[in-house]
């Protein structure tokens, strides 16, 4: 493990931290507002950071149109991808086909980025200007976007690059994940402290209350081996560790406005954008371990 990269959304910077001491070693500055989200590709030594705009989801009057490419080895901006006419880029994931897929909220599309050329290679209609986060099944057959205010999930046939349907959910959404076998979509309820378990085939929905949460959650992220699901709640300063059967939950209080997370071995790191802290959770004991300061308020982080 050579480093830790963090997107300081509140400070408008990208940080490189020492993965052992957690000291900030390099600061990249000069970005338009606002650096938002992160995709780390350690195998090629690059990370991708989109500029969403100076607003928030659903209220973004000056949407961005840039995807920054960060060189992890040189710790500098390697390229800037101008996405125009696509605007408001948000969540991005690497597909099994080696291409990057990214929601562009205000454009109602999923952008396709070829990392070999750092160019836009196409788009897919998402069916919603509220397309927020996305997830891709492990077999590469389906891509799902959660459309926050619409209270829908768009279902996309990825090989065909075609929107094939929508799933209506009981409430607006805030986050999305998918099980290892692709059979269960996990959608985070943006109105109440629940997650929705959606059968990908039948579209049937089961509501699972988040124990110990007083308000709605935000982001759901699986451990790399799918042995654990972590769910953070920006609204109430909590993170929950949930087993794959969804029968056991452990709610752990952390810092202010926890957002995205990164697993490293038996540890879970959670960025708290409200107070500039990163909290470390010990996974085996399911307890809080430590915390450290990083920037003004980091939303996303990743190891490489």
CB proximity list for 125: less than 8 A, separation 6 or greater: 108, 109, 162, 163
Per-residue pLDDT band at 59 (split at 50, 70, 90): low
C-alpha span between 193 and 187 (Å, rounded): 12
C-alpha span between 219 and 168 (Å, rounded): 19
Over 80: is that where the pLDDT of 99 sits? yes
pLDDT of the residue at 55 = 64
pLDDT of the residue at 54 = 77
Q: Give the model confidence (pLDDT) of 120-171 as tens digits.
A: 999 999 999 999 999 999 999 999 999 999 999 999 999 999 999 999 999 9
DSSP string covering 189-203: ESSSSEEEEEETTT-
Per-residue pLDDT band at 57 (split at 50, 70, 90): low
Over 90: is that where the pLDDT of 61 sits? no
Over 80: is that where the pLDDT of 80 sits? yes
Per-residue pLDDT band at 295 (split at 50, 70, 90): very high
pLDDT of the residue at 1 = 79
C-alpha span between 54 and 114 (Å, rounded): 26
pLDDT of the residue at 143 = 98
Give the DSSP H/E element, type plus range, for residue 241. strand 238-242
Over 70: is that where the pLDDT of 90 sits? yes
Higher local confidence (pLDDT), 36 or 46? 46
Taking residues 263-282, what's their average pLDDT? 98
Over 90: is that where the pLDDT of 280 sits? yes
Residue % of the chain over a pLDDT of 90: 96
3-state secondary structure of 182: coil
Q: pTM, whole model, 2 decimals?
A: 0.96
pLDDT of the residue at 58 = 65
* Beta carbons within 10 angstroms of residue 61's beta carbon: 7
Roughly how many angstroms between the first and final C-alpha of the chain, as a whole number?
6
The overall average pLDDT reported for the chain is: 96
Q: Give the model confidence (pLDDT) of 177-223 as tens digits.
A: 999 999 999 999 999 999 999 999 999 999 999 999 999 999 999 99
CB proximity list for 185: less than 8 A, separation 6 or greater: 135, 144, 153, 167, 176, 177, 178, 179, 197, 198, 200
C-alpha span between 161 and 228 (Å, rounded): 30
Task: Tell how strand 258-264 and strand 131-136 pair up.
Answer: unpaired
Judge residue 164's burial from the number of C-beta atoms within 10 Å of its C-beta, 0-12 exposed, 13-18 middle, 19 or more buried.
exposed
| Cβ(97)–Cβ(88) below 8 Å | no
């Amino acid at each position: 493990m050579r480093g830790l990269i963090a997107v300081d959304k509140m400070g408008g910077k990208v940080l490189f931290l020492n993965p052992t001491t957690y000291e900030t070693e390099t600061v990249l500055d000069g970005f338009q507002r606002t650096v938002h989200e992160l995709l780390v590709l350690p195998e090629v030594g690059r990370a991708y950071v989109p500029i969403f705009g100076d607003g928030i989801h659903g209220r973004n009057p000056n949407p961005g149109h840039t995807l920054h490419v960060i060189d992890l080895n040189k710790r500098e901006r390697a390229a800037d991808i101008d996405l125009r006419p696509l605007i408001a880029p948000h969540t991005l994931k690497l597909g099994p086909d080696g291409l990057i897929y990214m929601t562009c909220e205000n454009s109602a599309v999923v952008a396709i980025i070829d990392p070999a050329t750092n160019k836009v290679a196409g788009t897919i209609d998402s069916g919603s200007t509220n397309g927020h986060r996305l997830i891709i099944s492990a077999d590469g057959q389906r891509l799902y976007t959660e459309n926050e205010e619409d209270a829908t999930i768009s279902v996309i046939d990825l090989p065909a690059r075609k929107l094939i349907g929508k799933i209506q959910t009981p409430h607006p959404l805030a986050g999305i994940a998918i099980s290892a076998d692709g059979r269960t979509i996990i959608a985070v309820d943006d109105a109440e402290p629940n997650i929705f378990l959606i059968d990908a085939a039948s579209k049937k929905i089961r509501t699972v209350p988040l124990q110990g949460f007083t308000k709605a959650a935000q982001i759901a992220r699986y451990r790399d081996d799918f042995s654990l699901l972590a769910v953070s709640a920006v609204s109430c300063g909590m993170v929950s560790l949930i087993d794959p059967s969804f029968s056991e939950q452990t709610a752990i209080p952390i810092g202010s406005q926890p957002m995205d997370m990164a697993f490293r071995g038996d540890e879970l790191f959670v960025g708290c954008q409200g107070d500039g802290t990163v909290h470390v959770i010990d996974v085996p004991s399911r307890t809080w371990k430590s915390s450290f300061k990083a920037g003004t308020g980091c939303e996303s982080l990743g190891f490489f």
